[in-house]
Amino acid sequence: MKILFSAICMLFVGLLFGQRSTYNHCSGAVFAPVEGKFSLSFLGDKKSNQIWVVFIAPKSGQVELEITEVGSSLTVSTGVIIRSNDEICDLSERKNLTIDSIAFELRGSENVNFHVEKNQFASLCLTTGSGIKDDVIFNCKFKADNTQEEEHVLNLVYDKTLPTYTLLIRDEQTLTPVAGRIFLQGSSEISGSYYASKLFMNLKQPIKKGSIKIDAPGYFPVEFKERSIPNNGQKTDTILLHKFEAGELTKLEQVYFSAGLPEIMEESYAQLNRLRDLLILNPSITIEIHGHVNLDENSAKKAQKLSKQRAIMVKKYLVQNGVAPDRLFPIGFGSSKPVFAKPQDEEQKEANRRVEILIRKN
């Protein structure tokens, strides 16, 4: 009981330190599938040295999680798993909600078994001593209650007489269902984070400038800004995801830098965290980080230098968030590969200022 109480206390103390971008805080948690093996390291924070991982259940079933801490420290780490229908950072802002938690001590290695309901969040928080940077290995196995189910349906319809919005996520090649993390914004009615391959919800009013973001393990993340969603009856959106493969080149959307400088702006953290998760959960992948700038008053030499500095800053961010530096290769192309050779407006100039990643062939 004492362990449970202290673990939950540490959990909420951590929540009070504000929204951070690293997995040392709930807002930067690594989103992991309930099946697979990966490793993270404590980042050595002197005030609140934690690791946050969120598992989302694609089906109802039993999770068998083996956690192993590798390091020279003798400090006993504590852990807590919180099962909820929302992300734990969201729960911290809500009242009168019961948190279902499991607390444990990590003495080198620990096996934690727990049941999850379909689409439920299982947030894991590990806490260790100040300054410690031990590695932690997570080996997760999942046994579904119903192995026949393929579509991960989340039905939020509460009134069948109202218009219904349906969102389908599919593999672009096979058109098979793909379960992923869905972020919706546009109104208080739909805004939120969900996990499904098929999402139903009511829509009382049309959305004129909504946004949709999709993250799914093994696929490039996608984002649609200022997307209109009418509420004229039964509206269905189908979003096709592209599986990442060696040799693939893709632009990192929503990554911004200060004008003329290499510093990454804070609104880029969410996108960079999605790239971090992809790399952490796929440890065999190495990538090139391509920096590009728009050809303006800068000389070719200055443009090349700035683009390389920006690529290096992306690498630095990923390394600080648990990705091994020898998997990341920053390259600056300056303004030599523009999307628009003669940009006519600010939008085309912005398209030329970009960061792309190339998955290397091993």
User: Nearest CA to 133 among 200, 28, 41?
Assistant: 41
Length of the chain: 362
Q: Examine the pLDDT at 338 and tell me if it is beyond 90.
A: no
Q: Please, what are the domains in the chain? A: 2-144 (2.60.120.380), 153-241 (2.60.40.1120), 249-359 (3.30.1330.60)
Question: Whose structure tokens read 């546009």?
Answer: 186
User: For 38-66, how does the pLDDT look when each residue is reduced to its tens digit (9 = 90+)?
Assistant: 999 999 988 889 999 998 877 789 999 99
pLDDT of residue 17: 34
Give CA separation, 280 vs 40, 178, 230, 272, 276, in Å. Answer: 8, 20, 38, 12, 6
Confidence at residue 73, expressed as pLDDT on a 0 to 100 scale: 74
pLDDT number for residue 15: 35
Say yes or no to pLDDT of 9 above 50: no
8 Å CB contact between 353 and 294: yes
Q: What is the mean pLDDT of residues 331-347?
A: 85
Per-residue pLDDT tens over the stretch 258-277? 778 888 888 888 888 888 98
Tell me what percent of the residues of the chain surpass a pLDDT of 70: 88
Give residues with Cβ within 8 angstroms of 2, minimum separation 6. Answer: none
pLDDT-derived band at 81, boundaries 50, 70, 90? very high
Span 25-38, mean pLDDT? 88
Nearest to 250 by CA among 271, 268, 229, 280: 271
State the pLDDT at residue 19: 42
Backbone φ, ψ for residue 38 (5° rounding) = -155, 170
CA 116 to chain centroid, in Å, comes to 20
**pLDDT average, residue stretch 190-209:** 86
**295-312 confidence digits (pLDDT tens):** 765 577 888 899 999 999
Region 193-205 average pLDDT: 88
The sign of the dihedral angle between the CA atoms of 293, 295, 299, 304 is positive
pLDDT for residue 313: 93
Q: Which of 111-120, 225-234, 240-249 has the lowest mean pLDDT?
A: 225-234
Instruction: Using pLDDT thresholds of 50, 70 and 90, give the confidence band for residue 94.
Output: low
CB 360 within 8 A of CB 246: yes
- Both tokens of 164, joined, read 């219904």
pLDDT reading at 95 higher than 70: no
- Name the band, by pLDDT with cuts 50, 70 and 90, for residue 105: very high
pLDDT at 273: 87
Q: pLDDT-derived band of residue 85, with 50, 70 and 90 as boundaries?
A: confident
Local structure of residue 10 (DSSP, 8 states):
H
Residue 28: strand, helix, or coil: helix
> What mean pLDDT is predicted for residues 325-333?
93
Confidence tier at 2 by pLDDT (50, 70, 90):
very low
Over residues 106-127, the pLDDT tens digits come to 998 999 999 988 878 899 999 9
| pLDDT value, residue 5 | 35
What's the average model confidence in pLDDT over 348-354?
A: 81
Q: What is the pLDDT of residues 141-182, one digit of tens each?
A: 999 887 665 688 889 999 888 888 899 999 988 888 998 888
